[in-house]
Amino acid sequence: MAIDHVVYVVITGSDGRILDRQSKRIRRSSNGSPPVTEQPLYPDDRISASLLQVPLTAPLMTRLIQSAEQTLVPQEESSDWLLSFFIRNETLFDFAMPVLRESSSVTPLLHRSIELEDKIGPTLLSTTSPVVGLVHIGITDAQAKQALLIIVRNASILTVLIIAAGILGAHVLTSRITTPLRSLANSARRLAHGDDAPVRLIASTNDEVGELTRVFNIMIESLHDRNQAITMNLETIRRQITQLTTVHQASAAIAGANMFDMDQLLETVLQLLVENLGFSRMAVMLHHPKKNCASFARIIGVSPELVEVAYRLELPIVESGIAADLLIHRKPLLIHDIETIPQRIFPPLFELLRRSGIRSFVAVPLQSHTKILGFLSADRRSRPCSDEDLDILLTIASHVAAAIDNAKAYSDLTELTQHLEDRIEQRTEELSRANAQLQDHDRRQSTFLSVVSHELRTPMTAIRSFAENMLDGVTGSLTELQHTYLTRIQHNVSRLARIIVQLLDWSRLDTKRVELRVEAVCIHQIATIAADSLQMVASEKNLSLVIDPIESLPTIHGDRDKLEQILVNLLGNAIKFTAPGGRITVECCESPPGLVQTCVADTGCGIDSSHLPNIFDEFSRVPSPMPASQGAQLGLCIAKTLVTMHQGRIWVESQPGVGSRFYFALPIAELQDEASRGT
């Protein structure tokens, strides 16, 4: 009975008598009408009777179905209403266990369930039955139900708790991860759309999301700072673009002004700057280093009366003054208020500034290359000048300086040109006079030469005749010394005659009084004529003079006499500078193609190579190992002049002690004709 779910225990003898019984529960009966009776709960007697009739050797479980009229009074009211609710309908099971004789053989046990209503009968157990009694134990399912209910309830509570934990977890997840991430995403989206107002996110946790939020905040601040910096830079750039555009326009206008009149240039430039840069008054002062002062070259924006005063002003450059800063130290100036620096401004200028109403101004040196030309100043009337104004003026100053420099250079150039023109005119006059004098001198020289030559010829001819006569014995026999002297006289007279001829030829060529009478000629033929004329002189000196024969040679266009003169000069030299026993040859050929080349070669004394370059100059003064043979040194010069007149070329090859080869080449007639036809 100590066990909770045991309701009753009944011990019955073999005759069905109840030997002992105990019950913990009470049965409440109501047969439709009150009063309600309550009595301890025991099994129906019929169960015992039935069991005793059919002796069982095994326990028999019988389910006691409660009728509507009978209910079990609960053993104790449970405080748990839920348990009370579910265990309201208890089911009672009766376990009937037969008590068997110890030694008797027992009929095989039949397990069967006996329904109380069907099986109960009036018969009692026979005395032979091995069953000596029965023990009934009533067991209720309330405990089992209660345990089950507790399990179910606990499981339900656990499930609810799990669900709640899940919901809580989801909530925590949302509040700690998803929401901050969403905020981050929104913020990032706003940033991406250009919303530059930084929205600081609150880092609610210390985990990775919190770290991410903090980093994101730093990033937003950094972006914001950069944005602000960019905006400021953009503003600066915009401002500078505006300034540069203005400066560019002003520069273009200055460049386009194209003025070299300084006054007009400054007037235009200052006007342009005032219009383009928005200054009220502007002035240019020019530096006069020699006088160590500066003066107003142009001022605009002030009354004509003050302009007059300004133009009369000479600003001395003293160390403490603003002019020295600008013109000596090349420093730009931004004066916020002239009243604060009266001691640095020359008093008349200070007075002028006051009268003009100028308090604040900017001034920059005008520097071109390394030279300070002056300075440019400007003001904005009542508005104080700023660093920006100084920058603008500095930018434009170089253009203004360049324009002033150009104008100055142009004015200097004009002055110089005028001066040069005057000088040229003067020189031209002097030259014309000198030329006239020279021409006159030339004329007189030529006249002198021809007169002298002519006048010398007659006495020379007489001397030569007398000498020849005396050598021929006309005046009687001669001593050996007399013969020698007369021979020398004869030789020198011949030399003198040649010199006079050459002087006359040169004089004619020099005054361009020679004209060619051109015809088709064969140079070989002319060379033969020239050689024939000198054959006797050569044989007198025991020289062989040979003309190399040639089958055919193209003709050239030339003046017969002049060509003969060239050859006579060259052959004459060859005879003069070749010692007796030597050989002189004349060779003609067509070389190179298109030219007829003539060569006069000798085996004479030759010419030193250092003298070859100027051997064709007039009065060349070339030294010779045979000085007695030298003449006026005009023969080769005349030859070269005549060759050049024939569009030819002359040159020499010589080796001292071996001989010389004088060449001249002239174009052949056919080619000259073709060329002239072509042109």
633 binds ligand ADP (CB under 6 A): yes
Cα–Cα dist 393/146, whole Å: 105
Q: Residues 87, 142: contact at Cβ < 8 Å?
A: yes
Stretch that binds ligand ADP, among 25-33, 90-98, 117-125, 602-610 (CB under 6 A): 602-610
Say which amino acid occupies 356: S
In sequence order, the β-bridge partners of residue 96 are 60, 136
Q: What angle, rounded to 10 degrees, do the helices at 347-356 and 304-312 form?
A: 170
What tokens were used for 582?
């030597």
Select 299 or 636, whichever has its Cβ closest to ligand ADP: 636
Among 573, 603, 641, 672, binds ligand ADP (CB under 6 A): 573
Q: What is the largest CA-CA distance in the chain?
A: 235
Taking the complex as a whole, the smallest distance from the CB of residue 618 to ligand ADP amounts, in Å, to: 8
Q: Is 575 in the site for ligand ADP (CB under 6 A)?
A: no
Verify binding: residue 620, ligand ADP, rule CB under 6 A.
Answer: yes
Which span sits near ligand ADP by CB under 6 A: 31-39, 340-348, 448-456, 569-577? 569-577
The region of 49-57, 541-549, 586-594, 631-639 touching ligand ADP under the rule CB under 6 A is: 631-639
Contacts of 181 (CB under 8 A, 6+ apart): 209
CB of 662 to ligand ADP, least distance (A): 7
Look at the chain and count its residues: 679
Of the two residues 554 and 625, which places its CB atom closer to ligand ADP in the complex?
A: 625
Nearer to ligand ADP, 301 or 582 (CB): 582
Sorted by sequence, the CB contacts under 8 Å of residue 471 that are 6+ apart come out as: 478, 483, 486, 487, 490
Pick 394 or 622: Cβ nearer ligand ADP: 622
Does residue 493 touch ligand ADP according to CB under 6 A?
no
Taking the mean position of all CA atoms in its chain, how far away is CA 526? 77
**How far apart are CB 579 and ligand ADP at their closest, in Å?**
11
Binding span for ligand ADP by CB under 6 A among 109-117, 120-128, 305-313, 623-631:
623-631
First-residue to last-residue Cα distance in the chain: 161
Among 558, 604, 648, 667, binds ligand ADP (CB under 6 A): 604
For 14, phi and psi rounded to 5 degrees? -70, -15
Q: Is 522 in the site for ligand ADP (CB under 6 A)?
A: no
Choice between 366 and 615, CB closer to ligand ADP: 615
| Cα 32 from Cα 29, distance rounded (Å) | 9
CB atoms within 10 A of CB 488: 11
Residue of 532, 527, 510 lying closest to 439 (CA atoms): 510
Instruction: Give the residue, chosen from 254, 310, 605, 650, that forms a contact with ligand ADP under the rule CB under 6 A.
Output: 605
Span of 9-17, 76-84, 552-560, 633-641 interacting with ligand ADP by CB under 6 A: 633-641
Instruction: Give dist(CA 206, CA 390) in Å, integer.
Output: 55
Q: What distance in Å separates the CA atoms of residue 30 and residue 14, rounded to the nearest whole number?
A: 33
CA distance 274 to 301: 9
Selected from 191, 392, 522, 634, the binder of ligand ADP by CB under 6 A is: 634
Query: What are the Cα distances from residue 458, in Å, to 254, 455, 494?
Result: 83, 6, 13
Contacts (CB under 6 A) with ligand ADP, residues 253-312: none
**Of positions 338, 599, 632, 643, contacts ligand ADP by CB under 6 A:** 632
**Pick 501 or 556: Cβ nearer ligand ADP:** 501
SS3 content of the chain, % helix, strand, coil (to 5): 50, 20, 30
Kindly indicate which of the ranges 177-185, 226-234, 323-331, 599-607 contains the residues binding ligand ADP, using the contact rule CB under 6 A.
Answer: 599-607
Q: Are 285 and 363 in contact (CB under 8 A)?
A: no
User: At closest approach, how far in Å is the CB of 551 from ligand ADP?
Assistant: 28
State the nearest-atom distance from the C-beta of 500 to ligand ADP, in Å.
Answer: 12
Work out how close the CB of 569 gets to ligand ADP at its nearest, in angstroms, rounded to a whole number: 6
Among residues 269, 615, 666, 668, the one that binds ligand ADP under rule CB under 6 A: 615
Q: Do strands 60-64 and 293-300 pair parallel, antiparallel, or not at all (unpaired)?
A: unpaired
Gap between the Cα atoms of 545 and 538, Å rounded: 7
Residue 13 binds to ligand ADP (criterion: CB under 6 A): no
CA angle 505, 558, 636 (to 5 degrees): 40
Among 44, 274, 631, 649, binds ligand ADP (CB under 6 A): 631
Nearer to ligand ADP, 379 or 602 (CB): 602
Can you tell me whether residue 649 is helix, strand or coil? strand
Q: Distance of alpha carbon 553 from its chain centroid, rounded?
A: 72
Closer CB to ligand ADP, residue 94 or residue 602?
A: 602
Instruction: Report 140-159 residues binding ligand ADP (CB under 6 A).
Output: none
Q: Does residue 660 bind ligand ADP (CB under 6 A)?
A: yes
From the list 297-305, 344-352, 522-530, 622-630, the region that binds ligand ADP by CB under 6 A is 622-630
Q: Is 607 in the site for ligand ADP (CB under 6 A)?
A: yes
Q: Contact, 404 vs 372, CB < 8 A?
A: no
183, 482, 624, 647: which one binds ligand ADP (CB under 6 A):
624
Stretch that binds ligand ADP, among 94-102, 274-282, 331-339, 601-609 (CB under 6 A): 601-609
Instruction: Select 179 or 494, whichever has its Cβ closest to ligand ADP.
Output: 494
Nearer to ligand ADP, 122 or 580 (CB): 580
Q: Judged by CB under 6 A, how many residues of this single chain contact ligand ADP? A: 21
List 64, 574, 599, 650, residue binding ligand ADP (CB under 6 A): 574
* Closest CB 608 distance from ligand ADP, rounded Å: 10
Yes or no: say if 271 and 291 are a contact pair by the CB < 8 Å rule.
no
SS3 309: helix
Residue 459 preceded by cis peptide, ω within 30 = no
**Residue of 581, 577, 597 whose CA lies nearest to 643:** 597
State the nearest-atom distance from the C-beta of 578 to ligand ADP, in Å.
7
What is the rounded CA–CA span in Å between residue 72 and residue 285? 131
Of 497, 499, 493, give the one whose Cα is nearest residue 463. 493
Q: Which of 635, 650, 664, 669 binds ligand ADP (CB under 6 A)?
A: 635
Nearer to ligand ADP, 332 or 631 (CB): 631
CA pair distance 263, 272, nearest whole angstrom: 14
Q: Does 577 bind ligand ADP (CB under 6 A)?
A: yes
Name the pairing type of β-strands 544-547 and 583-590: parallel
Q: Does 622 bind ligand ADP (CB under 6 A)?
A: yes
- Asked, as a colleague might, if the bond just before 34 is cis with ω within 30 of 0, I would say no
Please report, as a single letter, which amino acid is at residue 52.
Answer: L
Find the part of the chain contacting ligand ADP (CB under 6 A) among 19-27, 410-418, 557-565, 619-627: 619-627
Q: Which stretch binds ligand ADP (CB under 6 A): 386-394, 406-414, 587-595, 635-643?
A: 635-643
Residue 498 Cβ vs ligand ADP, minimum distance, rounded to whole Å:
7
Binding site residues, ligand ADP, CB under 6 A: 573-574, 577, 602, 604-607, 615, 620, 622, 624, 630-637, 660
